[in-house]
Amino acid sequence: MLLPAAYLTITVADAFGEAVDSVANSRTAALAARSVALAAAVTAAATAIAVTLAWLTARTDLPARRAWTVAAALPLVVPSYIGAYAFLSAFGAAGLLRDILQGPLGVERLPDITGFFGAWLVLTLFTYPLVLLPVRAVLRGLDPQLEEAALGLGRSEWQTFRTVVLPQLLPAIGAGAVLVALYVLHDFGAVSIMRFDSFTREIYNVYRASFDRTYAASLGAILVALMVVVLWLEGRARRGLVLHRSGPGAAREPRLVRLGRWRPAAIAFCALIATFALVVPTAVLVYWSLQSFAGSPQWGEIVAAAGSSLLVSGLAALAAALCAVPVALLAVRHPGRFANVVERAGHTGYALPGIVVALALVFFATRVAPGVYQTLGLLVFAFLVLFLPLASGSLRSSLAQISPNVEEAARSLGRSPVRVLATVTVPLIAGGTLAGGALVFLTAIKELPATLILAPTGFETLATEIWSATSVGFFERGAIPSLVLLAVSAPSLWLLLDRR
Amino acid sequence: MRVASVRRSGPVTIPGMETADTTRAAAAAAAEPIDCAAVGKRFGEVVAVDSLHLRADPGKITALLGPSGCGKTTTLRLIAGFERPDAGTIALGDRVLSGPGRFVPPERRRIGLVFQDYALFPNRDVAGNVAYALPRGGDRSRVGELLELVGLEAAADRHPHELSGGQQQRVALARALAAEPAAILLDEPFSNLDATLRDRMRREVRRILAEAGATSIFVTHDQEEALSIADAVAVMRDGRVVQTGAPEEVYERPASRWVAEFLGEAEVLPGTAGGGAVECPLGTLALDPGFEGPAEVILRPEAIAVSAGPTPRDAEARRATVVDRDFYGHDQLLHLALDSGLRVRSRQPGFPAWHSGDHLRVWVDGPVTVLPPAQ
């Protein structure tokens, strides 16, 4: 797990003076400021949207809650680069909306949405499910007695939410928010298409243009430092939170809050988010696909790309689920310095943006292990490094819900720790493992920069197909692979949703 | 080895249980005593258990009674093997479980643990929970026998979340017994149950444990619970066992004023010991405390007798007036003011009723404890 980080360090340390010179300028500072501002803005907006939607769909009498639940989670399957491409081609200065308005109203140009605003909008709309899913799961699992206790003590619904529910949600919100912040910092597709100069875009340009190893690695190192700060803050905030239930709690369905006169506003909010996060991108993709059908789509390429995507993401999901179990067990059941180091090591991989991991592995493979360069194994390993925390985070939550007493009971019944693990713990966390694997699958299938750099020559996935089409402006050519990618990855979302 | 050391516990019968042949199901492994000697355990700066001595006799129920935070649960976890002691020795029979250079892991101790929250496996049904505990190659028919013992044979295929608290507890008990432990530990076993269920479960758990013949220790902060179920009570305070004995013994002859007041209502009167007797505001009591000088005389309200008219013991009786009365149905607690102004309480049967202002004669009729005054 530490290989890419170690290699990055070696590369920078190798030519330290040169590295410092290459990045010690105002351009780097501006780059950093822009990236941090974007990450902060997206995290704040995504968290606000996600907590509201989670509460509305899980704990109120919102009409058609099941449908809204699915609709609210679906944007997770839309990769940021597809979202960005859809928004740009719809609302861009010369997009579809202008074409519609041009006729009757004579509008020649719309305000430019590229840059900060466009990147913020797209990233917010397609990352908020990362907060929504864990928060919703916790909301469904909370002991309703605690809220009833608060209401019984004369607190209003809002006070109860703020003083009883929210504190219990904080770990889930924190974990989700960290995922969003890291996603934004390492996002490559949306910022590139929205032409927002962030670290990742700069690194890719430097790598493509000059193969300047030291400068690219130095930028990568700064970006990694930013992400480590995010993780450190989250780790600090998590400390002191105790998550075990003290009693068995009530085995009852959660309480539903009556919306009353707020119902129209709640529906409008859900509809607004669904329109921008689902309807607009889908409509745009369908429009371009129809345009494309009018021509002659290359079906063979598309089918082969879909197969490649399934293969590589499936392998990554399997590997991540298998590796996550020991990491999560260690972190939850044996907290301490060692567990902390192991968990941070796993997270460090995720703190490395895909593009940095890919570069580090390319440099490592070409220099040290030429045998693995340009193999599928290297790409799967890159995914494992990148996405292991997704699997272990999901597991961690489901582990924390199990009282350690249950495991101790099994031991006092004469089972060794290993047998307890096999017969009690693993069956109880099977759901969490499956959810974690699904999350890795979903994320890996959409991954762009590492796939671009590490995929064996001629190994085209849906993501690289879409990228090569949009980067040269052929919106038509990218539309069908985009729809296929969405269709392929959408069903695995069912695994992530509570089947209640 | 199964030993059928069955001991019927008095006239208690549970509906539907009388005819059950529970003897074989209940038979646990040979009961062995648990011995804790000078056991100590610290968590950082906090001393949870401090040179604790405790013996639980084989086949008997021992209550570990103390206020919350006194180290009861830590003691239980030390015996079960979920915590390592910093000092001292814990032994089951002549087998040392924890001691200098020795630590037997929980799964090899043959000590069953029933948790306060029962800790049933949520993914297994009732029969599955019990079957899990059978020793490898164990006889599956024992599951049915144990469920019969705890009166849950009809609930075998239900899951823990479908059971009431009392049912969950009985499953936890059946599961612990299925492992044929040499001893069973119960952590606040009745605290999650409502009052009526608690009374029934106390008797039922007592019956099951007695039939199983296992050495058992249960932790509680409820003195009534400890006194009513246990064969022996160990009173704990600040990490130490301060008194051990039969329930009657610790109740009637507390080793200290603290134990007396923790176990129930106690009147503590000033007195003077000397010449084989103790003098106190309720008269001169003919008993030898074994020391001379100032003393504390401790007696229970039920050891203070009252009468409205003349009594055979008029010579020693004092006059008092009823100032207040708490009526409980089965008994009443009278708050009395002696002519000297001293207040004492007297527990009397619910009938006849006394009222504020009644004039009574008061004398001592029951066990008395005399201690040197606390420093």
| Residue of B92, B117, B125 to mutate, testing the A interface (most A Cβ within 10 Å of its Cβ) | B117
Q: How many domains does chain A have?
A: 1
Q: Is the pLDDT of residue A472 over 80?
A: no
Tell me which residue in B82, B109, B121 faces A406 most closely, judged by beta carbons. B121
Beta bridge partners of residue B40, listed in sequence order: B87
pLDDT band at B375 (very low <50, low <70, confident <90, very high): low
The pLDDT value given to residue B41: 95
Decide whether B23-252 matches B265-371 in CATH topology: no
Specify the pLDDT at position B284: 87
Amino acid at B279: E
**Per-residue pLDDT, A120:** 93
Q: What percent of chain B has pLDDT over 90?
A: 52
> Quick count: other Cβ atoms within 10 Å of Cβ A387?
27
A405 interaction partners in chain B (CB closer than 8 Å): 115, 117, 119
What band does A60 get if pLDDT is binned at 50, 70 and 90? confident
Strand partners of residue B279: B272, B284
The pLDDT of A289-304, averaged and rounded, is 81
Residues B107-136, mean pLDDT to the nearest whole number: 88
Instruction: List pLDDT tens digits, range A425-463.
Output: 888 888 888 888 888 888 888 888 899 888 888 888 988
Given A403, A414, A428, which is nearest B179 (Cβ)?
A414
- Residue A151 identity (one-letter amino acid): L
Is any Cβ of chain A less than 8 angstroms from the Cβ of B320?
no
- Closest by CA to A365, choosing from A354, A353, A379, is A379
Nearest to A452 by CA among A462, A443, A441, A464: A464
Q: What is the pLDDT of residue A244?
A: 53
Question: Which of B117, B118, B175 faces A413 most closely, judged by CB atoms?
Answer: B175
Select from A414, A423, A427 the Cβ nearest to the Cβ of B135: A414
The pLDDT of residue A67 is above 80: yes
Residue A252's pLDDT band (boundaries 50, 70, 90)? low
Q: Is B103 on the interface with A (CB under 8 A)?
A: no
Segment B30-38 mean pLDDT: 90
Does B115 touch chain A if contact means CB atoms closer than 8 Å?
A: yes
Q: Does B63 touch chain A (CB under 8 A)?
A: no
Most confident of A157-166, A467-476, B31-40: B31-40
pLDDT of residue A334 exceeding 80, the answer is no
Q: Which residues of A make CB contacts under 8 Å with B?
A: 246-248, 251, 403, 405-406, 408-417, 420, 423-424, 427-428
Across residues A189-214, what is the average pLDDT? 82
Helix (H) or strand (E) holding B6, with range, is none
Average pLDDT over residues A94-107: 69
Q: Which residue of B has its CA nearest to A410?
A: B133
- pLDDT of A21 reads 72
pTM of this prediction? Answer: 0.67
Give the CA count within 13 Å in the CB-facing half-sphere of B209.
Answer: 29
Average pLDDT, chain B: 86
Q: Give the other-Cβ count within 10 Å of A466's Cβ.
A: 26
- Mean pLDDT throughout A62-78? 85
Contact A386, A450 (CB under 8 A): yes
Choose the closest CB to A403 out of B82, B117, B176: B117
Higher pLDDT among residues B4 and A313, named by residue = A313
Is residue A220 scored above 60 in pLDDT? yes
pLDDT band at B13; cut points 50, 70, 90:
very low
Residue of A nearest to B169 (CA): A248
Residue pair A188/A354 in contact by the 8 Å Cβ criterion:
yes
Q: What is the pLDDT of residue B312?
A: 78
In chain A, residues with a C-beta closer than 8 Å to the C-beta of B161 are 251
Calculate how close chain A gets to B228, using CA atoms only, in Å: 25
* Å between A148 CA and nearest CA of chain B: 18
- Looking at residue B11, its pLDDT comes to 40
Per-residue pLDDT, averaged over B182-195, amounts to 87
Tell me which residue range forms the domain holding A126.
3-496
Residues ≥6 apart with Cβ < 8 Å to B131:
B140, B143, B178
Q: Is B168 on the interface with A (CB under 8 A)?
A: yes
Chain B interface mutation, best of A246, A413, A426, A500, highest count of B Cβ atoms under 10 Å:
A413
Question: Could you tell me which of A311, A33, A64 has the C-alpha nearest to residue A196?
Answer: A33
* Confidence band for B58, pLDDT divided at 50, 70 and 90: very high
- The fold adopted by the segment(s) B265-371 is OB fold (Dihydrolipoamide Acetyltransferase, E2P) (2.40.50)
Both tokens of residue B60?
């008997």
- pLDDT for B10: 38
Q: Domain of A218: which CATH number?
A: 1.10.3720.10
ipTM comes to: 0.73
One of 3.40.50.300, 1.10.150.20, 3.40.718.10, 3.30.470.10 is the CATH number of B23-252, namely 3.40.50.300
- Residue percentage of chain A with pLDDT more than 70: 89
Q: In this structure, are residues A438 and A317 in contact, taking their beta carbons and an 8 Å threshold?
A: yes
| CA nearest neighbour of A149 among A163, A167, A135 | A163
Q: Is the pLDDT of residue A91 over 60?
A: yes
Confidence of residue A243 (pLDDT cuts 50, 70, 90): low
Asked whether the predicted pLDDT for residue B21 surpasses 50, the reply is no
Report the range of poorest mean pLDDT among A127-131, B134-138, B194-198: B134-138
Is B327 a residue whose pLDDT tops 70?
yes
Give residue A249's pLDDT band: very low, low, confident or very high (50, 70, 90): low
> Percentage of residues in chain A with pLDDT exceeding 90?
11
Nearest residue in chain A measured CA to CA from B80:
A412
What band does B349 get if pLDDT is binned at 50, 70 and 90? very high
Best mutation target among A405, A412, A425 (most B Cβ atoms within 10 Å) is: A412
Highest mean pLDDT out of A193-197, A383-387, B57-61, B118-122: B57-61
The mean per-residue pLDDT over the stretch B263-281 comes to: 90
Q: What is the pLDDT of residues A107-123, one digit of tens each?
A: 666 677 778 898 999 99
The answer to whether the Cβ–Cβ distance between B192 and A247 falls below 8 Å is yes
pLDDT for the residue A347 = 67
Which residues from B are below 8 Å from A408, CB to CB?
A: 80, 82, 106, 113, 115, 119
Has residue B16 got a pLDDT over 60?
no
Res. B241 pLDDT band, cuts 50 70 90: very high
Domain positions in chain B: 23-252, 265-371
Chain B: nearest CA to A143, how far in angstroms? Answer: 13
What integer is the mean pLDDT of A253-272?
Answer: 84
What value does the mean pLDDT take over residues B320-338?
Answer: 93
Residue range A4-26: average pLDDT? 74
Helix (H, G, I), strand (E, B) or coil at B138: coil
Whether the Cβ atoms of residue B85 and residue B41 lie closer than 8 Å to each other: yes
Closest chain A C-alpha to B135 CA, distance in angstroms:
8
Determine the average pLDDT of the residues in B103-111.
90
Residue A105 has a pLDDT of 66
Bin B95: left if φ > 0, else alpha if -120 < ψ < 50, else beta: beta
Residue B51 CB neighbour total at 10 angstroms: 15
Nearest to B118 among A248, A411, A428 (CB): A248
A240 min Cα distance to partner chain B (Å): 16
